[in-house]
Structure 1
Amino acid sequence: GDDLATKYVLFKIFFTGMMHENGLPLATAVSVSPGERKAANSWKPYEDSYPLRPLDEFPQTVEVWREWLRFRWMLRWPFQQRVFCSFALGELLFFYPVVAIGVAAGVLAYLGIGVQKDIQLTGTLASIPFVITFAAASHNSLFTFLMGIPFERTITYHRYSAYVGAVLGALHGFLYEVEGCIGCEDGGEDEYEAGRDKGNKNETDGDEARASGWILQAAVFGLVAFSFSPIRRLFFEIFYRLHVILFIVVIIFALVHEATIVYIGAGIWLLDFAYRSVAAAIWNEHKATFTVLPANVIKVTFPRGMWKYKGGQYLFLCVPSLSIFQWHPFSISSSPAEDTVSLHIRVLGGWTRALYNMIDKSTEKSMELGILFEGPHGETTVNLDDHTYEHVILISGGIGITPMHSIMNSLKEQYKRGRPLKKVCNVWTVRDRFMINSVYSTNSKTNMSVNNLPMSFQPDILHIDSDQELLSGTDSIFKSRLYLTKLQRNKDEYLMANISKEMQPWLRYGRPDLKRIFQGFCRDSLPPRTRVAVLTCGPKGLVNAVEKLVRTQSNSRVTFDFHKETFEF
């Protein structure tokens, strides 16, 4: 079908080029009609999906990878359905039962129920979860390759397996102390030593085993304690540095304590780390332009070159002039069809504040800096790579627009090349303080007009300058709405913020009626068993509200499939 036609057209183009290269008259070459060129450039499923570098440079490998993705989506589709609020069916069937079985096995071994009390067994059971802990911390893990679960979601498995390992490790330590004290009361010190030696046949001798074990356990509890969300968010820099230091402590004392099973997971992580480091140094070193925008936002742009990514993905960015050791995740706000990669970074922590201050001190509020990055990463739980969805809802709040912006413009560009889409609705909510307090005074540098929103709304919702026909009219495929949630009803403030509702028909005031938006899709004349992809990114309250509507508004005729962008690192 389409693939065969494409190969035929590409062969003709190649053959024509070869004749020209060898000095043959072009009149004898096979001509390629505009229709054939259009067919070669038409949209194809999985066209933006590529394997890791350098495999993405080989067409045969790319085709094999895309076939694997088709097969993987077919396998994983039943298991990613949401049941019991926000739990995925696959997690309920596999992950959480494994966690429960692991905890139960450790407790039974500790109590000696069903098995003889054995300190070595409890130590082995405590070590196994850390294989998953380290493996799940890999950016390019087996979870991603085999099941399509990206790093930002495998980090949940990373945490839970670490919690299980910490609990089982504590039980192992307590059992060591209890078993070591057998005979203390009756037989004195000699029997104490004998009891301890008997209970630790395969461990290092005496005090060395005890010391290395409790240091290892203390390091694990330190990692767990600082990973809880309130602490991690408030003191991220401290969390990050302690995580690295305590990780090294765990690796060293796991070897001393002979908990060598841990090294299986650590080895997987180190291989991934080595690949990412080499890839960043060889392929992903660039000069990027950093520009300060209002509302504490930094725009980063650099040439895409041969780098490939999909709409909605993210990368880890490093600015060596700030720190070679800090890599932070940021959503890509540009679409894969653009020649320039764009990021929009909101100032939230110490690293982003230092970056903002450095750029803000420059005369032009813009500067060029060397960067390293690795990625792309990220995979939506709804399949936007093929024909599964012709109806899409994108809902974002604040800086959460960045991945939705990328997806929206990617869908729009694909639609122009023949992708079958029937309705794409984009909703973006912004608090007015985020805008009003950060609008530049009107001058030539602001580049404002009555047709454009102020720069504090960067990135623009769409490339509307040349695509007005896609946005206007009641029958438009693409519908975008921007909601200002707390703007005072004062015309002077409208003018200050460059707001003109007459010239900006996509602009709304107040909070969006999300339920009405969902019901609008239900009222449309859709065929039975229609699936609508719903993607959201933003504040927790907004994400939770959207997730609830996905459950309550689905019915026998229309099913809303849900994906939320999360960066709980």
Structure 2
Amino acid sequence: MANENSTQQPSSPFDPNKNNLLSFLDFSVVKSWDDVKTKFHQQMVNGKLFKKNFGVCIGFDERSKHFAYELFDVLSKRKKIKPDDGITLQQLKEFWDELKRDDQETRLAIFFDLCDLNDDDKISKEEIETILKWTASANNLKSIENQIENYASLIIKEFDPDGNGSIETWKYVAIPMLVYTSEGIYTIIKKQIYEVKVLKATVYSKNDLVALRLEKPKRFKYESGSYVYVNCEDIAACEWHPFSITSAPDDEYLSLHIRNAGDWTEKLVERFGKAVEGGKITKIGGIHRQENINDSKWESGEKYPKILIKGPYGAVTQDYKKYKVLLLIGFGTGATPMISILKDILNQIKTHEKEKSTDENGESKFKKAYFYWITRTEESFEWFKGVMNDVAEHDNGRVIEMNNHLSSIKREGDPRSVFVTILQNIQTKIEEIDFISRSRIRARHGKPDWETVFLKLKKEHSGKIGVFFCGDSSFNEVAIKCRKHSDDSTQFEYHHEGT
């Protein structure tokens, strides 16, 4: 049974009944108007103070410069001043007086104007992302900086229960939003810690990856695309590392696929490699797979390292249910959040759960899901072979189209890969198994031709198509194609999750 160790939640630093709910000024840095006036004369040019020096005058440090820029623009707009013209000493005094007014209504109005970047009286997810960027910079918080899109989705989800895509009634949400940003996000980050039993471990050749099947804690609810932080006390008691959950929400277990990609993961894979020594070894082609056998020590979990998980946490891929057509793209282990989505869709196909697989009009919620997995080594296909075969058996391309690409192979039609194609054709006729992927899903050669992919989707579908990409953020070709091929008829909405 998984142990649940609840963590104590912090009290909110904001009290709506007190005047410290919002304060734009740090009086420990700039104590009075005289200090501000002195800095004005140091920073002015021809009697004017410009945006780039505004933060310095009112006591902001370098990390808060982007926040200071936005604040300058908001105050200028409220005073009907053109920001690019700069401000006089008298106008700076008016700014100062407004910022230090003991009036929460005014402070909340300024805060909302800071958030409402396009002046449409509502706050969109994109605007929240911008806010979180200067929040992360001002507070030197890498934890927010690296998860901006995820956290923006969480905030929108919290304050937009009707799914409008924006926060519209600011007076009613401004105070709880402020409490949320201090307490709610902290609660999300803290979450709950579980000690979980390892039900099964499989280590793939050359200690490249370990697949873990874990006991699912009670009341542990998550959506496809979620991730957890993992801790192994044998390696480092204080280190937590994020990994996508590859099981579907309805599965009775949790599964994780953890690749050897650094010091901590190397040690984890090595420890599980030692734990499964003496277990069943399977060799297919050049791929070695070793996993536990059914004996009392493995069944009790005694042979495995102690594993703690913290979560679950939302990811951008959780938005996939908004779309009837999906384009799911994973590079290497970037396939892991997509696998969870595929399992979820497949479970709905297999069980015919009407409340999940159809909308209120009785129409299929998912018209089509196109999955593209690009990997450099054929060993990788072994990681999710079971899912591939499951899709081939139960769906047969009706809803899910699988495209597994081995980038190390020359494209089909290249003289250097002709015999690979011949072998695939022969082997498939004999066994209905692709000899490269070792599954019923044929491995394709080289990387996808993204131009062709997008043209095909645009020809076959109209409306919004959800494009979910997980891989190296430096690869931006997919994002470029989304912009290029979006028009009034078809809109490719791009979501990126880093690996």
- Return the TM-score normalized by structure 1: 0.48
Cα separation, 2, equivalents of 1:502 and 1:374: 34
Aligned equivalent of 1:408: 342
Q: CA deviation at 1:562?
A: 1.7
- Specify which of 528, 532, 554 is matched with residue 486 of structure 2: 554
Matched, 1:390 2:324: yes
Aligned to 2:452: 516
Q: SS at 2:435's partner residue? A: coil
State the 1:265 CA deviation: 9.0
Q: Describe the SS at the equivalent of 1:479.
A: strand
Aligned to 1:321: 234
Partner Cα distance (1:358, 1:111) in 2: 66
Give the alignment partner of residue 373 of structure 1, picking from 305, 309, 322: 309
Normalised by the length of structure 2, the TM-score is 0.54
Letter in 2 for 1:401: A
Aligned AA (1:483): H
Alignment of 1:199-238 (within 5 A): none
Aligned length: 330
> Amino acid of the residue matched to residue 163 of structure 1?
S
Preserved CA contact (<8 Å) 1:317 1:372: yes
Matches within 5 A, 1:132-281: 160-164=134-138, 279-280=192-193
SS of the residue aligned with 1:565? strand
In the alignment, what sits opposite 1:297? 209
Distance 1:99 1:470, change over 3 A: farther
Q: Which residue of 2 aligns with 1:285?
A: 195
Q: Are the structure 2 counterparts of residues 123 and 111 from structure 1 closer, same or farther at C-alpha, using a change threshold of 3 Å?
A: farther
Question: 1:374, CA displacement in angstroms?
Answer: 1.7
Distance 1:383 1:352, change over 3 A: closer
Whether the 8 Å contact between 2:202 and 2:210 is mirrored in structure 1 is yes
Distance in structure 2 (CA, Å) of the matches to 1:530 and 1:487: 35
Q: How does 1:83-102 map to 2 (within 5 A)?
A: 100-102=69-71
Amino acid at match of 1:558: T
**Residue in 2 aligned with 1:359?**
272
* Structure in which a larger fraction of residues adopt helix: 1
Does the residue aligned with 1:311 lie in a helix, a strand or coil?
A: coil
2:304 partner SS: strand
Which residue of the other structure, out of 476, 479, 482, is the alignment partner of 2:404?
482
RMSD: 4.8
Runs of 5+ consecutive residues of structure 2 not aligned to the other structure: 1-5, 8-63, 77-82, 102-106, 112-121, 147-176, 279-289, 292-302, 358-363, 411-415, 425-432
Alignment correspondent of 1:168: none
How far does residue 348 in structure 1 lie from its aligned partner after superposition? 2.1
1:285–1:372 contact (8 Å) kept in structure 2: yes
CA distance in 1, matches of 2:65, 2:492: 25
Q: 1:519 to 1:104 in 2, by over 3 A?
A: closer
State the Cα deviation string for residues 284-342 of structure 1 (Å, max 9, x = none). 22122444223622222202243111111111111122222111111111111211211
1:79-121 Cα shifts (integer Å, max 9, x gaps)? xxxxxxxxxxxxxxxx998563247799999995733599999
Instruction: Write the letter of the residue equivalent to 1:369.
Output: P
CA shift in 2, pair 1:390/1:277, >3 Å: closer
Shift of the alpha carbon at 1:560?
A: 1.5
Deviation, structure 1 residue 554: 1.7
Contact 1:382–1:562 (CA<8 Å) still a contact in 2?
Answer: no
Q: Contact (CA 8 Å) 2:231, 2:241: kept in 1 or not?
A: yes
Go from structure 1 to structure 2 and tell me whether the alpha carbon gap of 1:462 and 1:523 turns closer, same or farther (over 3 Å shift). farther
* CA distances 1:521-565 after superposition (whole Å, capped 9, x unpaired): 2222x4xx52211111112354x1111111111222222222111
Judged with a 3 Å threshold, the aligned counterparts in structure 2 of structure 1 residues 101 and 329 are, in CA distance, closer, same or farther, namely same
Specify every segment of 5 or more residues in structure 1 that has no aligned partner in the other structure, as ranges: 1-52, 55-94, 133-145, 166-219, 230-263, 436-453
Instruction: Specify the SS of the correspondent of 1:459.
Output: helix
Give deviations 1:234-258, integer Å, cap 9, x for gaps.
xxxxxxxxxxxxxxxxxxxxxxxxx
Residues 492/481 of structure 1: CA separation in 2 closer, same or farther (3 Å cut): closer
Superposition deviation, residue 481 in structure 1: 1.0
Is the aligned partner of 1:425 residue 2:370? yes
**Partner of residue 49, structure 1:** none
Q: Is 1:457 matched with 2:426?
A: no
Cα separation, 2, equivalents of 1:343 and 1:521: 31
Which stretch of the first structure deviates more once superposed, 367-376 or 304-313?
367-376
Q: Is the 8 A contact 1:318 1:372 kept in 2?
A: yes
1:417 maps to a residue whose letter is E
Give matches, 1:89-128, under 5 Å: 100-102=69-71, 114-115=91-92
Match of 1:450 in 2: none
Q: Kindly state the Cα deviation for residue 404 of structure 1 after the two structures are TM-superposed.
A: 0.6
Q: Following the alignment from structure 1 to structure 2, what is the Cα–Cα distance between the partners of residues 338 and 285?
A: 19
Q: One-letter code of the match for 1:424?
A: A
Alignment pair present for 1:342 and 2:316: no
Q: Is the alpha carbon distance of 1:157 and 1:468 closer, same or farther for their aligned partners in structure 2, counting shifts above 3 Å?
A: same
CA distance in 2, matches of 1:323, 1:111: 56
Equivalent residue letter for 1:561: E
Q: What is the distance in 1 between the residues matched to 2:261 and 2:274?
A: 19
SS at match of 1:411: helix
Change (3 A) 1:508 1:359: same
* Distance of 1:329 and 1:162 partners within structure 2: 19
Question: How much has 1:484 moved relative to structure 2?
Answer: 0.8
Give yes or no for contact 1:330–1:343 (8 Å, CA) kept in 2.
yes
For residue 414 of structure 1, report the CA deviation from its aligned partner.
2.1
Equivalences for 1:56-71 in 2 at 5 Å?
none
Alignment partner, residue 498 of structure 2: 566
Identical residues among aligned pairs (%): 22
User: Displacement, 1:518?
Assistant: 1.7
For residues 522 and 340 of structure 1, do their structure 2 counterparts lie closer, same or farther at Cα, with a shift above 3 Å needed? Answer: same
The yes-or-no answer on 1:332 pairing with 2:245 is yes
Superposed CA offset, 1:372-428 (max 9, x none) = 22211124377433xx42211111111100001111111222233241122211111
CA contact (8 A) 1:315 1:331 kept: yes
Tell which structure's C-alpha radius of gyration is larger: 1
Shift of 1:479: 0.8
Alignment partner of 2:238: what SS? coil
